[in-house]
Structure 1
Amino acid sequence: MKKILLVLLSVLALTHCTSKSEIGTKENPIKISLVPGQDTKLLQENGKKLEAYLEEKTGLPFDVTVPVNFVAVIEALGSKRADMAIMNTFGYLLAHEKYGAEAALTGVHKGRKVYWGQVIARKDGPKSIRELEGKTIAFVDPSSGSGFVLPTKLLKDQKVRPKEVVFAGRHDSVVTMVYQKRVDAGATYHTPEDNGVPQDARKLLLTQYPDIFEKVVIIAKTDPIPNDPVVFRKDFPPELRKTIVEVIKKMMKDEQGGKIMYDLYYMDDFQDATHKDYESVEKMLLEIGKSAQDFVK
């Protein structure tokens, strides 16, 4: 009798542990990482709004966090410390290459599914890529497509060698360094003007520096790459993924939900995506003799 009781207790304990660790429970919420491309505090505040919205619409618990850098988001997907992420394009390629992460949605801004990189400088500074020879340049992060990979390709294509390279960590930090003359030039994301008003990374500093558009100018623009994707880690439950994807797509049609996502990453819509949508970027990397992982070594 005692043995039977012990067996029953063991089964109950095992069942309890299994249910406790099941994804989508209070003990194991769905963990979302947001790529830290701009002001961390602002991302955290809007991330909590996203968390509350998704919980309300799905009835499931979520935990939205902002890791310290781009690479931390990639590693979180690989170690299951993140179940999904809204991340940069090249970060996604690395997460896919290393850990089998999969794109489910592509962000859309003003009807565009692509964005560009740009090189900026003070108006009274360098006027072209060629003039950056021997200068100091601020990049965002080694895994940032617009803030490092594509601008680096521009420099390489024109055989320009900087004197020093600095990684600022965020797009707004790069703009600040250029504005304050701490570097000669910087690389950030580029978005076309809207009704004559610049929408690129300089916009992030407009409140702090009202003359940012006059003092800091664009001296070069890169080729386009697909917008940031919503990514799920490998082995994430398919039905749960389907539910979350549908809610995210619907939230863009909802005034409250749409504002949350626009405040986060300036996206006003999402479209279904697969890894195939990002193969053009992989092809570009192969053409320059690199894989995604090579850019973060």
Structure 2
Amino acid sequence: MKRLLSTMVLIGLFAVTGCQFKKDALGTEKNPIKFHLVPAVDAKVLTDNAKVLKEYLEKNTPYKYEITIPQSFVAVVEAFGTKRADVAAINTYGYYLAHKQYGAEARLTVIRYGSATYQSQFLARADSKIKTLRDLAGKKIAFVDPASTSGYLLPLKTLKDLKIEPKDIVFAMKHDSVVTMIYQRQVDAGATYYSPPQNGQIEDARRLVKTQYPDVEQKVKIIELSEPIPNDPIAFRKDMPEEMKEKIVDTLLQFAATDEGKKAIDLMLGATNFKKASDSDYDTVREMLRTLAPEGK
């Protein structure tokens, strides 16, 4: 009788546990797929368009989603390590860290105006004596943030390759702030992201301050561009089921082909499309970072 009771208890426990596992499987109401968006634009813009993305994903895949906007890309990286992030639109340097530390996998790369790569730009006042990168030696230069790929790491590599040593550097923390500092002559030059003009309109970081400084195109000029590196990826947690990854990737590609999708990814990510990608596409980024920190840090 004792053995029978013990067996029945065990069967009951397995049954309950099995039901619980089934109920809380990834992609269900109680355990939705956690999709993170790195805060790069206005929070309300991200929130409003995240709703559009969530509705489309839930309508076109068999899964439920929770789309969140962490405080920084560092929070997204750590979330991959604790399984609080399943999918994330993350910046290039953040992806480098997420893959290195937790094995996150790039499955899509954002496309911006037909290009899967991007460059940094070096800017200076049009009325200054700075004409080439060599002229930056001994000058005060503004960068964005120590963790910004286009606003620091990539232009830093460009300067190191040419053995150009600035006199002083400052971090403005935002791309538009770098442009403003140059415009106001607070620094001699600066580095920000670059995007090629579209339909006769600038799309690089100078456009961010055109409302405040309508003549910024005439007053602040591009000195030179860096080498290109891959655009930001959409990354997935390493141990997510492969079938689930493929379904989400295909659905995001379909979303980007719709009118509402085009508008949403433009407002959220500054992107015009996606393309399938793999981790090896970001080998050039790893090589760049090794060049900057050969000791592997």
On whether the aligned pair clears a TM of 0.5, the verdict is yes
Alignment partner of 1:166 out of 157, 164, 171: 171
Residues 39 and 172, structure 1, Cα contact 8 Å, conserved in 2? no
Amino acid at match of 1:265: L
Gaps of 5+ in 1: none
Matches within 5 A, 1:80-95: 80-95=83-98
Aligned identity (percent) is: 44
Alignment partner of 2:277 out of 273, 276, 283: 273
Matches within 5 A, 1:65-104: 65-104=68-107
Match of 1:234?
238
> What displacement does 1:224 show?
0.5
Alignment partner of 2:63 out of 57, 60, 63: 60
Residues 37 and 171, structure 1, Cα contact 8 Å, conserved in 2? no
Alignment partner of 1:37 out of 36, 40, 50: 40
User: Matches of 1:173 and 1:9 in 2, distance apart?
Assistant: 62
Q: 1:192 aligns to what SS in structure 2?
A: coil
Say if 2:223 is the partner of 1:219.
Answer: yes
User: Matches of 1:208 and 1:49 in 2, distance apart?
Assistant: 31
Q: 1:97 to 1:27 in 2, by over 3 A?
A: same
Computing the radius of gyration over CA atoms, which structure comes out larger, 1 or 2? 2
> What displacement does 1:214 show?
3.4
Per the normalisation by structure 1, the TM-score is 0.84
Match of 1:152?
156
Amino acid at match of 2:104: A
| CA-to-aligned-CA distance 1:67-103 (integer Å, 9 cap, x gap) | 2222222222222221111122232222222211111
> What displacement does 1:290 show?
3.5
Match of 1:15?
18
User: Matches of 1:48 and 1:177 in 2, distance apart?
Assistant: 36
User: Matches of 1:69 and 1:32 in 2, distance apart?
Assistant: 14
Q: 1:238 to 1:180 in 2, by over 3 A?
A: farther
Alignment partner of 1:24 out of 24, 27, 33: 27
More off after superposition, 247-256 vs 214-223 = 214-223
> What displacement does 1:2 show?
5.4
> What displacement does 1:289 show?
5.1
Alignment partner of 1:252 out of 236, 244, 256: 256
Q: 2:67 aligns to what SS in structure 1?
A: strand
User: Matches of 1:255 and 1:16 in 2, distance apart?
Assistant: 41
Q: 2:56 aligns to what SS in structure 1?
A: helix
| CA-to-aligned-CA distance 1:259-289 (integer Å, 9 cap, x gap) | 1112222322222111222223333444455
**Residue-pair matches, total:** 292
User: Matches of 1:185 and 1:65 in 2, distance apart?
Assistant: 36
Residues 87 and 237, structure 2, Cα contact 8 Å, conserved in 1? yes
Q: 1:212 to 1:120 in 2, by over 3 A?
A: same
> What displacement does 1:118 show?
1.4
Over 6 Å off, 4+ runs: none
User: Matches of 1:40 and 1:222 in 2, distance apart?
Assistant: 30
Matches within 5 A, 1:118-197: 118-123=121-126, 127=130, 128-133=132-137, 135-156=139-160, 157-166=162-171, 168=173, 170-179=174-183, 183-197=187-201
User: Matches of 2:202 and 2:169 in 1, distance apart?
Assistant: 28
Residues 91 and 144, structure 1, Cα contact 8 Å, conserved in 2? no
Q: 2:95 aligns to what SS in structure 1?
A: helix
Amino acid at match of 1:26: E
Q: 1:164 to 1:114 in 2, by over 3 A?
A: closer
> What displacement does 1:243 show?
0.5
Say what the alpha-carbon RMSD is for the aligned residues: 2.8
Amino acid at match of 1:160: E
Q: 1:11 to 1:132 in 2, by over 3 A?
A: same
Amino acid at match of 2:164: K
Q: 2:47 aligns to what SS in structure 1?
A: helix
User: Matches of 2:232 and 2:283 in 1, distance apart?
Assistant: 14
Amino acid at match of 1:63: E
